Amino acid sequence: MRSFIGALLLGSMAMQARATGLNMMANPVRKVVSMMQKMTKQVQAEGKVKEEMFEKFMCYCDGGEKKLGAAVSAADEKIPQLEATIKESKGGKAQLEADLKTATADRQEATKTLAKAKAIREKEASDSAAEATESKTNIAALGKAIPAIEAGSGAAFLQTNTGVTEKLRQLSVSMDMEAVDRDLLASFLADGSKTGGAGEILGILKTMKEEMEKDLADLSSQEQAQAADYESLVAAKNKEKTALTKSIETKTVRVGELAVKLAETANDLEDTSEAVVEDKKMLAGLDETCAVKKKEWDEYKEIMSAELVALADTIKMLNDDDSLDLFKKTSFISSASSFMQVQVTAKSMQREALKMLKSTKRHSKKDPRLDFLEMALHGGHMGFDKILKMVDDLMAVLKKEQGGDNDKKAYCEAEFDKYEDMQKGLELDVSDTGKTIGDAKETVATLTKEIADLTQGIKDLDASVKEATVTRKQENADYVKTLAENSAAKDLLGMAKKRLQKFYQPKAAAASFVQVEAQRHHHKQSLDLSNTGKKEEANGVIAMIDMLVADLAKDNQVLELEEKDGQKQYESFMADAKTKRSLDAKTITDKEGSKAAAEASLEEGVLAQKDKNTELKETKQFIMGLHQECDWLLKFYSTRKEARTDELESLDKAKSVLNGADYSFLQTASVSLRGSK
């Protein structure tokens, strides 16, 4: 106990001497007692704070398990529900976005279709109007020419009406007619005074007029049908656009609502998942933590009680009357004992500070600024005020450097996090854009081939129509020619039959003529009887002629049937060809619209991918620059910080030593006091 008191006295006197840099004042025992009384109050106050903290923790231990268990159960039920909601929301949002994209594309397609249909309709109307005007002009010309020719004033009319004559001349060249008719009409128009073939000319002109009037009626019907089809298409497309616009507006609102709901649910799931992990962790270690805290509290109370007892015993011992009398009898207080006059010299403080600075080198890289301070302390020629200022300046620089490193580290980490996320997003965008471009290219290629096939099909169909028309005309020409030849043959055979009958069968030729001939040639009956064999042969020839005529009649009937069938088949083929051509042309228009949309999408995708690649390249270059700027700092940040902390601690200790404090001694005294029981 006496050794403890001596150490305590020595420690107290040494601390007082170090703090003031002067000799100890009178009555040091009283000061020691005051310090110990102050320590007692500090220990008691600390114990009260610790006790309050322990009681609060025990309250938490008592009710925490039940609360944590309930929280964990609720979270375990909530998490699957949130996950299901997120999955459902994502699926619904993806479907809505796909529907929205499709509806937008369909609306754009409808708009393009309307624009193209309008252009086609306007061209059809213009062409039809021009053709109708031309037909009406031609019909009017024929309407003037035909009555004039019928009245017998064709030559005068042609000479005075040069415009009509020129129009007829153009028609004689451009219209489809027989070569004979064309030559006859051309000859008439060249010299209207020739009226020998006026009947045939009238027939040709009337036929031309009838055909033109029929073509004009067909043209009018076709124009009306095309206009009706266009109006029907416009109405249908406008109705479709209205429905698509309403659908787009509705789906856009729903997509926004789902996006908000999805974000809120995701945040809720993240918060709940993190909370349940922490709750489970706390619940698992709650009993152990509470037991450890209780054990620590018991140990702390035991140490605190022992410390308070030691302080109380020491105070009582020093305040005891016998102890005071003992101190008075000695020179402990009154004399200026060397033991009580602990002198702290400048040289010793200088050496202690130098020792503090040198100790730093064992933990950090050598700093030339510390070397300069060591030289200043080692030389001893510079006053403490200047050295202290150098220490303060160096500490300020080190703190500023550490602050710069802290800011730089935070900046680097934030920038890496930001731009690495940006890089991932851009890489995903580039990948998605590549898929879009691939799909667009495939669509364009497919549509191009389909359009080419349809266009070639229309060309082939037009060629077939042209060939069928040529064939039909040739068949009709053959029919007319054959019919005419058969009629001529029938006429010729009839004339031959009449001639034979006139000689061999007078009765068959004409009854009156036969009777006269019979009276006049009665005397030649013997001659007639002698020609009986020739008459029989003549009868056979006449019968053969009758058979030939019958065959020709039958051939004419067959020809007429074949002509009707051929014309019917031709008209059916032309109608089918017209329908197919119209449908194929409409399909080509639709596919060209789709192709244009796909090409626009492809171009947009290529531009977007180019922009994204450029942005990705710039982002990667920026990240590379960040690595060059930040990697060294991030790698050696902890080492630099530890070295600066060590330097700052050493500088602070050296400064304190130069100011008169000895931390090593104070720490030793404190440990000795707290460690004694």
Q: Which of the residue ranges 81-90, 362-371, 516-525 would you say has the lowest mean pLDDT? A: 516-525
The arithmetic mean of pLDDT across residues 423-430, rounded, is 87
Name the residue with higher pLDDT: 153 or 479.
Answer: 479
R_g of the chain, CA atoms, integer Å = 63
Q: Is the pLDDT of residue 43 over 60?
A: yes
Which H or E element spans position 436? helix 384-504
Helix (H, G, I), strand (E, B) or coil at 332: coil
Query: Averaged over 569-592, what is the pLDDT?
Result: 85
Is the per-residue pLDDT at 361 higher than 50?
no
Per-residue pLDDT at 38: 82
- Would you state the structure tokens that stand for residue 391, as one six-digit string? 């220490």
CATH of domain 346-659: 1.10.287
Q: What is the Cβ-side half-sphere exposure of residue 659, based on CA atoms within 13 angstroms?
A: 12
Q: What is the pLDDT of residue 328?
A: 59
**What is the per-residue pLDDT for 342?**
39
CA 490 remoteness from chain centre: 83
Does the pTM surpass 0.85? The reply is no
AA identity, residue 422: M
Percent above pLDDT 70 for the chain:
72
What pLDDT was estimated at residue 641?
87
Higher pLDDT residue, 177 or 53? 53
pLDDT at 67 > cutoff 80: no
pLDDT at residue 155 greater than cutoff 80: no
pLDDT of residue 75: 82
Q: What is the mean pLDDT of residues 78-89?
A: 88
Place 25 in a pLDDT band, splitting at 50, 70 and 90: very low
d(C-alpha 500, C-alpha 504), whole Å = 6
Distance CA 409, CA 636 (A): 11
Distance from first CA to last CA of the chain, Å, rounded?
11
| Count of CB atoms situated within 10 Å of the CB of 473 | 13
Query: DSSP string of 539-596?
Result: HHHHHHHHHHHHHHHHHHHHHHHHHHHHHHHHHHHHHHHHHHHHHHHHHHHHHHHHHH
Model confidence at 331: pLDDT above 80: no
Helices vs strands, H then E, count in the chain: 15, 0
Contact 42, 260 (CB under 8 A): no
Q: Which of 248-262, 408-422, 646-660 has the lowest mean pLDDT?
A: 646-660
Band (pLDDT 50/70/90 cuts) for residue 360 is low
| 3-state SS string for 491-527 | HHHHHHHHHHHHHHCHHHHCHHHHHHHHHHCHHHHHH
Going by pLDDT thresholds of 50, 70 and 90, the confidence category of residue 534 is: low
Give the whole-angstrom CA distance, residue 324 versus residue 328.
6
Contact 451, 591 (CB under 8 A): yes
- Residue pointed to by tokens 């005020």: 385
Q: Is the dihedral of CA 138, 140, 144, 150 positive or negative?
A: positive
CA 41 to the chain's CA centroid: 73
CA–CA separation, 11 and 556 (whole Å): 152
The Cα–Cα gap between 469 and 176 comes to: 11
Residue 435 in this model has a pLDDT that exceeds 80: yes
Burial code of 164-180, b = ≥16 C-beta within 10 A, e = fewer? bbebbeebbeebebeee
| Residue 595 neighbours by CB under 8 Å, 6+ apart | 443, 444, 447, 448, 451
- Token readout for 24 is 């100890």
Closest CA to 40 of 297, 323, 316: 316
Q: What mean pLDDT do residues 302-330 have?
A: 73
| Sequence-ordered alpha helix ranges (H) in 320-383 | 321-329, 346-359, 368-379
Does residue 223 surpass a pLDDT of 80? yes
Question: Which pLDDT value is given to residue 120?
Answer: 92
Which pLDDT score is estimated for 517?
Answer: 47
pLDDT for res 60: 67
The Cα 627–Cα 634 span in angstroms is 10
- What average pLDDT does range 136-151 have in this prediction? 79
Distance CA 108, CA 327 (A): 110
Q: What is the mean pLDDT of residues 65-70?
A: 72
> How would residue 126 be classed by pLDDT, with cut points 50, 70 and 90?
very high
Separation of alpha carbons 43 and 117, rounded Å: 98
Q: If you average pLDDT over every residue of the chain, what do you get?
A: 75
Task: Note the pLDDT of residue 593.
Answer: 85
When mean pLDDT is compared across 104-108, 188-192, 422-426, 567-571, the lowest value belongs to 188-192
Q: What CA–CA distance (Å, rounded) separates 524 from 514? A: 14
Token couple for 278: 């922490």
Evaluated on CA atoms 271, 276, 281, 283, the torsion sign reads: positive
Query: Is the pLDDT at 255 greater than 80, yes or no?
Result: yes
Q: Domains of the chain: which residue ranges?
A: 27-329, 346-659
DSSP-derived secondary structure for 601-621: HHHHHHHHHHHHHHHHHHHHH
Contact 433, 427 (CB under 8 A): no
Distance of alpha carbon 18 from alpha carbon 657, whole angstroms: 9
Determine the Cα–Cα distance for residues 248 and 110; give it in Å rounded to an integer.
Answer: 14
pLDDT at residue 524, rounded to an integer = 43
Residue ranges of alpha helices (H) inside 151-192 are 154-160, 162-174, 179-190
Q: What is the pLDDT of residue 302?
A: 87
User: Measured between alpha carbons, how far is 469 from 550 in angstroms, rounded to an integer?
Assistant: 33
Q: What is the mean pLDDT of residues 361-387?
A: 54
Range 9-13, long-range pairs (CB < 8 A, 24+ positions): 11/665, 11/668, 11/669, 11/672, 11/673, 13/340, 13/342
SS3 label, residue 650: helix
Q: What is the pLDDT at residue 570? A: 84
Residue, of 437 and 528, whose pLDDT is higher: 437
* Closest by Cα among 180, 145, 183 to 164: 145
CB 502 within 8 A of CB 509: yes
pLDDT at 666: 37
Using the predicted structure, report yes or no on whether residue 188 has a pLDDT greater than 80. no
Half-sphere exposure of 140 (CA within 13 A, CB side): 9
Query: Are the C-beta atoms of 468 and 570 separated by less than 8 Å?
Result: yes
Nearest to 276 by CA among 69, 62, 64: 69
Top mean pLDDT of 337-346, 439-448, 511-520, 525-534 is at 439-448
Which pLDDT does position 129 carry in this prediction? 92
In 3D space, the residue among 191, 140, 129 whose CA is nearest the CA of residue 164 turns out to be 140
pLDDT, residue 460, reads 85
pLDDT of 391 over the 70 cut: yes
Instruction: Quote the CA–CA distance of 126 and 536 in Å, as a whole number.
Output: 75
User: Residue 445 pLDDT more than 60?
Assistant: yes
